[in-house]
Structures are given as structure tokens and as C-alpha cells.
Structure 1
């Protein structure tokens, strides 16, 4: 079991990682915390703008 953990997703990648790599031609990367915060802020701003526009104000 220990060998499977040591050589599992981190070494060869899980099925999702392999599928992503085949589809996009690159290995997936984890976004930095800064990028995630920026994207969340942009999404929240866009959602607020849509809600505000739908309200008719």
C-alpha cells in the first residue's frame, strides 16, 4: 500500500490528470492563491453587476 501511495497520483498522475494532459497537451497546474483570489473577485463583481442589472436599477 505504501508503494501505491508513493507512486500514485504524484508520480504518474491519476486518470483525471492523464485525461487533461491528453486533451490539452500539457500537465495541469494548480493556480496560485493570488490568481484564485483575483478570479473569485472578478466572478463576484460580474455576478453583482448581473444581479444589479436584472433588478432594473
Structure 2
């Protein structure tokens, strides 16, 4: 849990301003929508968390 919290915060805080400067804000904001999906996939792959519909 700590890895997911720290990694997503560090990566998100580093990537978003950089991405926002390079591309349009609309495209950069898609990162905000993709971050929870990436965190869910990483928790399933790295921590073997079960994926359920709820």
C-alpha cells in the first residue's frame, strides 16, 4: 500500500507538470483518469490483489 501511495504521488507530481508543458492540457489531464487504472493493475500484478467487479 505504501509503495502504491508513494509511487503514484511521486510519479504523478513529477509527470503532470512536465506533460502539461509539452502537450495540450486536455491530453495531459487524461493522466488523471489513467492513474487509478494503472494503480489497480499494479496492485494486481505486484501485490497479487484480487480483482473483483466491486
Whether these two folds match at TM > 0.5 is: no
When the two structures are superposed, what TM-score results if normalisation uses the length of structure 2?
0.33
Bigger radius of gyration among the two:
1
